Amino acid sequence: MKSKHRYKRRKRYLKGRRLQNYVRDKLLKTFPHLRKKDVSVALAGQQGPDIILSRTGKKLVGHNFEIKNQNRMSTVWKWYNQACKNTKLDGAVIMKSNTRAPLAVIDLDHFLDLIK
C-alpha cells in the first residue's frame, strides 16, 4: 500500500513539474534577453513562488507565479470554453467568490503577449 501511495505522490509531483518547466520555457522564449539563470523552477516543497525570477526577471516580467496542474479546475475550463465559443476574440473568464477580489483567467500565450 505504501508503494502505491508513493507512486501517486511521485506522479503528481512530475505532473506539476512538467507545467512549471513549460511556463519557465515560455517565459524564456517571450523574454529573449533573460537567461536560464534568471528564470528557474522551485524545488518540491520549497516555499514561495513556483517560478523563481532573478532581480532582472522580476523587473521585466513583473508577476509572481503559482503553478497548478489539477483536474479539480474543470469548471473553470468549461467557463473558458464558453467564453471562447463562437467568437474570433480572445476568451477571458472573470470569476469571484464572496468577500474576495475578482480574478481574470486568460490563455497563457495571450497573457505573455500582454506582459512582454
Digit-coded pLDDT (tens) for 8-66: 777 777 788 999 999 999 999 999 999 999 999 998 888 999 999 999 999 999 999 99
Give the DSSP letter of residue 104.
E
CA distance 103 to 101: 6
pLDDT at 12: 73
- Smallest Cα–Cα separation from 116: which of 77, 40, 54, 63? 63
pLDDT at 1: 53
pLDDT at 16: 81
CA distance 57 to 7: 35
Q: Is the pLDDT of residue 113 over 70?
A: yes
CA distance 56 to 19: 23
CA distance 60 to 56: 6
99: left (phi over 0), alpha (psi -120 to 50) or beta: left
